[in-house]
Amino acid sequence: MNKCFYFFLFLSSFGFSQNLTLSQANHLASLPIKCLQQEYPNKLSQLLIDSTEIQSPKSLHPAFYGCFDWHS
In a domain, 40, yes or no: yes
The mean per-residue pLDDT over the stretch 30-55 comes to 84
In a domain, 24, yes or no: no
Per-residue pLDDT band for 1 (boundaries 50, 70, 90) equals: low
The mean per-residue pLDDT over the stretch 32-60 comes to 84
| Parent domain of 58 | 35-72
In a domain, 47, yes or no: yes
In a domain, 66, yes or no: yes
What CA–CA distance (Å, rounded) separates 48 from 56? 13
Give the DSSP letter of residue 51.
Answer: G
Domains in the chain: how many in total?
Answer: 1
Contacts by 47-50, CB closer than 8 A, 24 or more apart: none
pLDDT at position 13 is: 62
Q: Which residue has the higher pLDDT, 62 or 10?
A: 62
Single pTM value for the model: 0.47
